[in-house]
Amino acid sequence: MEESSKRSEQRKEMEKERKKGEKKRRKEEEEEEEEILIFNHKSAEKEKEDEDLSDSEDSVFSGLEDSGSDSEDDDDDDEDLKVDQNLSQQVKKEEEDVQSSLKKKDEEEEVKRDEYEHDSSDEEDIRNTVGNIPMEWYKDFPHIGYDLDGKKIYKPIRNKDELDDFLDKMENPDYWRTVQDKQTGSDVVLSDEQVELVKRLQRGQFGDVNFNEYQPQVEFFTQEVMLHPVTNRPADKRSFIPSLLEKDKVSKLVHAIKMGWIKPRRDSRDDSRGRYYDLWASEDTSNLARHRMHLPAPKIPLPGHHESYNPPPEYLFTDEERALWEQQDPVDRKFPFVPRSFSSLRLVPAFPRFIHERFERCLDLYLCPRQRKMRVNVNPEDLIPKLPKPKDLQPFPTTQSLVYRGHSGLVRSISVSPSGQWLASGSDDGSVRFWEICSSRCLKTVQVGGAVKSVAWNPNPSVCLLAVALDSAVLILSPALADRQVVLSSDRLLSAPQEAEPIEGDGLVNWSDTEGEELNQGIRLKIQHPKAVQQVAWHTKGDYLASVMPDHSSHLQVLIHQVSRRRSQNPFRKNKGLVQSVSFHPIRPYFFVATQRSVRIYNLVKQDLTKKLHANSKWISSMAVHPGGDHVICGSYDCKLSWFDLDLSTKPYRMLRHHRKAVRSVAYHRLYPLFASAADDGSIIVCHGTVYNDLLQNPLIVPVKVLRGHVITHELGVLDVTFHPTQPWIFSSGADATIRLFT
Amino acid sequence: MGGLQKKKFERGSAANYITRNKARRKLQLSLPDFRRLCILKGIYPHEPKHKKKVNKGSTAARTFYLLKDIRFLLHEPIVGKFRDYKVFVRRLKKAYGKTEWSAVERLRENKPTYKLDHIIKERYPSFIDALRDIDDALCMCFLFSTFARTGKCHVQTIQLCRRLTVEWMNYVITSSALRKVFISIKGIYYQAEVMGQLITWVVPYQFSHDHPTDVDYRVMATFTELYTTLLGFVNFRLYHSLNLIYPPKMDSKVEMDQMEDDDYAMTSESNSEKLSALSASLARAVSSAEEEEAELDQFPVEGEDIEQMEAKEKEQKQQKLFKGLKFFLNREAPRESLAFVIRCFGGEVSWDKSLCIGSTYEVTDETITHHIADRPNIEKQYINRYYIQPQWVYDCVNAKMLLPVEDYFLGVNLPPHLSPFVEEKEGDYVPPEKLKIMALQRGEKPANEEEEEDEEEGEEEEEEEGDEEEEEEEDEEEEAEEKNLKMMEEQRSQGKSLQVKVTPGKVKAENSARLEEEEKAEEKRLAIMMMKKKEKYLYDKIMFGKKRKVREANKLAAKRKAHDDAEKSKKKKAKK
């Protein structure tokens, strides 16, 4: 590096000088060219000198190193190298000779002949001057080249054909020693000496007869110490005084050894025999934190019967299993190999993935994070909650006892009369049927002319009325299935004088008395709504009736009718979502409205919202209010049933996911602590739900019975469910056009 | 409030973990060196609980190490050696480039090396720790010892592995520590009990390996480096615990006998080869005769100790399983494995002289009791010995008793070879062969096979009759039976195996019982409905696992039955 930098510096200086020179030249234009030339020459010479200098420096250093290494380490190698160099030099010389001779040949015509008198290679040219060219160039010509004057040199006339040649061969005694000179094209008869020479060369002998191949060797250097020196030259001075260079070199080595840069040679013999010793001789029981925290790698699982070379036949794969194994992703396979069976040990081949498996183990060992996982051995029986036995929670419906047949369409809605004697059902076939519960006899059928969406029996036991929702009308039926007193009182209620026309919902709702055929059937009143009615619900007193008309875009979804005064009103001014069902509070003036996601509770007296319950479900399908009025259950289409404790929270106290499919209907029993849910999977689940008066105690919910019986038709199972008002019985109506009673 | 504002990711879990790249930079090592260091020191990555927190908000996939581990690595002297090696390589390259061969040679001689002794001691503070972890070391050494001596790894490594594994096998023979052997399709598994530790290793079959291209042999070599060191120290300690001379030597008496063979090769070479022949006992530091005779004094024992004593006695019995038996191995039988196993259990073994060095007696020896061959037939058979297939030896070891030889004669269809590592729990499928062996172990004599078959047939006929009677009721009770089956499955899954049979006389009594059961089942079903979501999930998972197990066991049983039926029908056809 330093040298190069020096050089570059020198070059810079040189250039400076040159520039100076140029400046000078500009100044002294009168000066002659020769001088400038000389100047340039000088600078060039200087440059050369510099380079030489640097080279010499290099060589000095390299030479030093070389000599040092020679003296130190391997003499033999270097000697070989030297020999090689000598050889190469010789070869080079020879090559040069050849080249020079060639050049000379090329130039021969320009140079005088005398110079080549002794050159044997030129002797041919004395005979022929065509030059050193391939003779086949002139194969088809009569001449073989040109002489100095440019005249053709003709080949000797040869018109021998094969026959002549043959005759010549037969007759000429010298034929065997006749050769054709390619250069001149003439035949030459070899002399005896020449023949002899050829023979000798063929035998591999020297051409010269007198040459002795086996001359005694004269040894120049012998092992014997000679009396006199080989040369008479006096010894150099440097052979007497110690070499400074060597001293320098040695001191450098010594320094390097001292500093530890060069290490003395290690003994190369194998120390494996003494490599091992008792490592754990002094068993110190130092329990470091490091060791406590250490997680030993898990051992490889031990092989099972599958891996045997001769497993029992049941462990071998069948064709299907094998196909499955081949289809599976290598990660998903239960075994990384196919079990195979061999009849004897000598037939077992090498396992192709052996090295892979070891390698994967290695990767696992150093690449996999380790973690201590606490695996609790749980007894699954312990996970099952301890609940009171259903036996102790009786009574509840257990068996199907009656089936009410008669409808031809799916039965959407059923209702039991407050006396507990009659059952009303509305179906898609456009009829409302009245059944006697105990005998399952259909007492009355009313054709209403449209699919019945909902029926609701007036809960007031002193009247006998049924509200029926179909299309966009609500009908009030008086089936006359009670005492005379009751029938009369219900008639009185319906025929109450129309004092004033309703103020609210003026143009919306049209109250009308029915006549003729309809009246004969028992239909007494028709309340015409502007939209399709989905559900009707009575107030406990039996005077007020709520109807639901689900609509996304309108605030007119719920109407409350007063039957005695034939008045209707729309209680809500705003649309708060699609109303699914409504219900009156059994005791207090509250009104429950279930929208898609939540249940709103309104105070009818104060006319404001008291509570909003969030059912954690997607779409509420039905709602039921506990007879105590403090609890609400909601069924939803996403199979859930949520129990709200109104005193506790606005979030469900319990979410029950008992059903497999959408819950269609839920119901509370009026007297017994029972509730039921019916779903599209055709099952009714009856649960025990005790509610305590003590506020600190949560309701106890225990499923007690799963009732099945309805046939699933068109993906629909049970559509409505309701309890008997006094008995622990449950009615259900299904899509299979039947109503069933479970007792 | 005041105080300094808390910065994110400066405390808590983020400060406890470090990514691999950062660790590498901290240690100033290249990735291969870091990998090597981790392998040697046994440092493995950790999975943080909150990956995003540790990853400073990013969710990119990264490998995390514990910062403590990396700090621990900082003080490792081997790291310095790695750096030295890097310098060495650089110097060597330079010398090559300058064609300074003397310098190359000098550098080569001073190639930096390192020792792993302190790492072994540090990783395994006690000898038992080392023994516990020696499984992988053995597997790896046995694998490397089978490599061809070309490419892939250094010849010295292969030789060292071979030496160490031979030493290990010799130790196992001398201490008769072998417990179980299993011939699998992968290789031969051995399990030995050394100082109370169960050690399992697998030896590949003796074939040349088809070296895969997607395996990084550098990783394997690093592991082998560590494992050879570990195994060497363990061997040393084990040999000294038995008063054996460590670089193992043959017993001098035996050596005297074999002096004639010594023209075979150089003494050192032949010595190691003789060792690997596993046929001779090893030299002891203290003469062995006294030791063997010294027996433990018998103390009166109580209660639990008796069981232990019995187990010990059994073990001792197993250790002398082949005592007094003389084996001769035909040339096609796997010599090393068989010699190892037979010698472990006190048998004498020999083979053809041309097969391997170290044979002790000839084929013509009259006292040979068992001749192990793996070919359908042998032309010249001697009268007073059994000609058996090699599986007999392994099965005997696993059964801990000498099995009847008849099933293993040459040309006979071998009984299945079962894994000794499987311990069937209740409800698991147990192959019938295992049951047979268990019966033999209990001392019951196997009934004559033909009789057995007759019995089975008789049973079947009875069953068929019973079926006919039952068929009448079946229609009525189909549903109930299905339920019953389900119940049975459930009970099976709970670990009980009930044999419920419907007999015509007891219909009513069963009905009541069944009603009760049904009631209970429904109760349970209803209770399950009331489970919390989390518990339900767990419960379902457990039950699914149990059911799957039952299903698998049933499947195996069905498969076996189908197979047996097919065999039987074949036999019948053959008879006709």
Q: What is the pLDDT of residue A279?
A: 86
Is a pLDDT exceeding 80 seen at residue B160? yes
Mean pLDDT of chain B: 81
Q: Provide mean pLDDT across the span A328-348.
A: 89
Q: Give the per-residue pLDDT at A557.
A: 84
d(CA B117, CA B124): 11
CB contact under 8 Å between A313 and B563, yes or no, is yes
* Whether residue A281 has pLDDT greater than 90: no
Residue bearing the bigger pLDDT, A90 or A174:
A174
Say if the Cβ atoms of B185 and A300 lie within 8 Å: no
ipTM, two decimals = 0.83
Q: What residue of A is the nearest CA neighbor of B134?
A: A299
pLDDT at B305: 67
Q: Which residue of B has its CA nearest to A315?
A: B556
Does the CB of A371 have a partner CB in chain B at under 8 Å?
Answer: yes
Least confident of A410-419, B24-33, B137-146: A410-419
Using pLDDT thresholds of 50, 70 and 90, give the confidence band for residue B99: very high
Contact list in B for residue A354 (CB cut-off 8 A) is: 143, 186-187, 204, 209
**Does the beta carbon of B71 lie under 8 angstroms from any beta carbon of chain A?**
no
The answer to whether A434 and A423 are in contact (CB under 8 A) is yes
A-to-B residue pairs, Cβ atoms closer than 8 angstroms: 257
| Nearest chain A Cα distance for residue B493, angstroms | 11
A288 versus A296: which is more confidently predicted? A296
Q: Place A7 in a pLDDT band, splitting at 50, 70 and 90.
A: low
How confident is the model at residue A501, as a pLDDT?
Answer: 52
What is the model's pLDDT at position A13? Answer: 60
Q: What percent of chain A has pLDDT over 90?
A: 8
Chain A environment of B413 (Cβ under 8 Å): 343
Q: What is the pLDDT of residue A12?
A: 60
Taking alpha carbons only, the member of B183, B117, B118 closest to residue B397 is B183
Residue scoring higher pLDDT (A359 or A173)? A359
- Please indicate whether, in this complex, the C-beta atoms of A307 and B233 are within 8 angstroms of each other: no
CA distances from B38 to A391, A550, B76 (A): 65, 70, 11
- Mean predicted confidence (pLDDT) in B23-37: 93
> Distance from B303 to chain A by nearest Cα, in Å?
31
Residue from the list A275, A280, A362 with its beta carbon closest to the beta carbon of B126: A280
Q: Which H helix or E strand runs over B237?
A: helix B217-241
Residues near B289 by beta carbon (within 8 Å), at least 6 away in sequence: none
Q: pLDDT category, A3, cuts 50, 70, 90?
A: very low
Residue B262 has pLDDT above 50, yes or no: no
Condensed to tens digits (0 to 9), the pLDDT of residues A375-419 reads 878 888 888 888 888 888 888 888 888 888 888 888 888 998 888
| Confidence at B248, pLDDT banded by 50, 70, 90 | confident
Would you state the structure tokens that stand for residue A315, as one six-digit string?
């462990």
A344–B117: do the CB atoms touch at under 8 Å? no
Q: Is B209 exposed, middle or buried (CB count within 10 Å of its CB: 0-12, 13-18, 19+)?
A: middle
Q: Which residues numbered 7-36 in B keep a CB inside 8 Å of some CB on A?
A: 35
Average pLDDT over residues A542-559: 84
> So what's the pLDDT on residue B289?
43
Residue A14: pLDDT band (50, 70, 90) is low
Question: pLDDT confidence of A50, banded at 50, 70, 90?
Answer: very low
pLDDT beyond 50 at B484: yes
Q: Name the residue facing A369 among B42, B45, B556 (closest C-beta).
A: B45
Q: Does the N-terminal peptide bond of residue A395 adopt cis geometry, omega within 30 degrees of 0?
A: yes
Whole-model pTM: value is 0.63
CA-based nearest distance A595→chain B, Å: 26
B416 → closest Cβ in A72, A312, A358: A312
Q: How many CB atoms lie within 10 A of CB B382?
A: 14
Residue B421 at interface with chain A, using a CB cutoff of 8 Å:
yes
Flag if A73 and B524 touch (Cβ within 8 Å).
Answer: no
Residue B19: pLDDT band (50, 70, 90) is: very high
Q: How confident is the model at residue A515 (pLDDT cuts 50, 70, 90)?
A: confident
| Cβ atoms of B394 and B181 closer than 8 Å | yes
B57 touching A, CB under 8 A? no
- What is the rounded distance in angstroms from the CA atom of residue B62 to the CA atom of residue B315? 50
A356 interface with B at CB cutoff 8 Å: yes
Alpha carbon distance B15, B9 (integer Å): 7
Ranked by mean pLDDT, the top range of A119-133, A439-453, B115-129 is: B115-129
pLDDT of residue B499: 58
Q: Which of B 441-480 lie inside 8 A of A, CB atoms? A: none
The label of the residue with tokens 């109760």 reads B523
Q: For residue A273, which residues of chain B lie inside 8 Å, CB to CB? A: 247
Write the pLDDT tens digit of every residue in A184-197.
777 888 889 999 99
Provide the mean pLDDT of chain A: 78
Given pLDDT bands bounded at 50, 70 and 90, which one contains residue B469? very low
pLDDT attached to residue B548: 92
Closest CA to A570 of A542, A529, A605, A611: A529
Is the pLDDT higher at A108 or at B341? B341
Measure CA of the first residue to CA of the last residue in chain B; give whole Å: 102
Q: What is the DSSP string of B90-151?
A: HHHHHHHHTT-HHHHHHHHHT------HHHHHHH-SSHHHHHHTHHHHHHHHHHHHTS-SSS
Q: How far is B19 from chain A (nearest CA, A)?
A: 13
Average pLDDT of the segment spanning A443-463: 85
pLDDT average, residue stretch B226-250: 89
When comparing pLDDT for B175 and A554, which is higher? B175
**Quick one: pLDDT at residue B505?**
61
Best mean pLDDT range from A615-629, B513-527, B545-559: B545-559
Cross-chain residue pair A363–B219, CB shorter than 8 Å? yes
| Option in B120, B186, B200 nearest A351 (CB) | B186
pLDDT per residue over B416-465, tens digit each? 999 999 888 877 888 888 888 888 888 776 554 444 444 444 444 444 44
Task: Give residue B143's pLDDT band: very low, low, confident or very high (50, 70, 90).
Answer: very high
Q: What is the pLDDT of residue B267?
A: 57
Contacts of A377 in chain B (CB under 8 A): none
Number of neighbouring beta carbons within 10 Å of residue B269: 10
Strand order in the sheet with B370-372: B348-351, B326-329, B370-372, B386-388
β-pairing, A558-562 vs A544-548, is antiparallel
* pLDDT, position A84: 45
The pLDDT of residue A436 is above 90:
no
Instruction: Say if B240 is an interface residue toward chain A (CB within 8 Å).
Output: yes
Q: CA of A691 to nearest chain B CA: how many angstroms apart?
A: 17
Q: How far from the centroid of its chain's Cα atoms is residue A542's Cα?
A: 66
Selected residue with higher pLDDT from B67 and A694: B67
Summarize the confidence of residues A20-38 as an average pLDDT: 49
Whether the CB-CB separation of A208 and A180 falls below 8 Å is answered with no
The answer to whether A354 contacts B542, with C-beta atoms less than 8 Å apart, is no
Query: Which residues of chain A does B375 touch, with a Cβ-Cβ cutoff of 8 Å?
Result: 346
B residues 277-306 near A, CB within 8 Å? Answer: none
Could you tell me which chain B residue has the CA closest to the CA of A69? Answer: B102
pLDDT 10s digits, B292-306 = 444 445 555 555 667
Query: Which of B171, B434, B494, B529 to probe the A interface (max A CBs under 10 A)?
Result: B529
Rounded Cα gap, residues A308 and B89, in angstroms: 48
The owner of tokens 């130190």 is A72
Considering only alpha carbons, which residue of chain B is nearest residue A71? B102
Residue % of chain B over a pLDDT of 70: 81
Chain B residues touching A358 at Cβ < 8 A: 139-140, 143, 220
Residue A449 CA to residue A431 CA, distance in Å, equals 7
The whole-number pLDDT of residue A137 equals 83
Q: What is the tens place of the pLDDT at every residue in A198-240? A: 999 999 888 888 888 888 888 777 788 888 877 888 888 888 8
Residue A629 in contact with partner chain B when CB distance is under 8 A? no
Predicted local confidence at residue A79, as pLDDT:
42
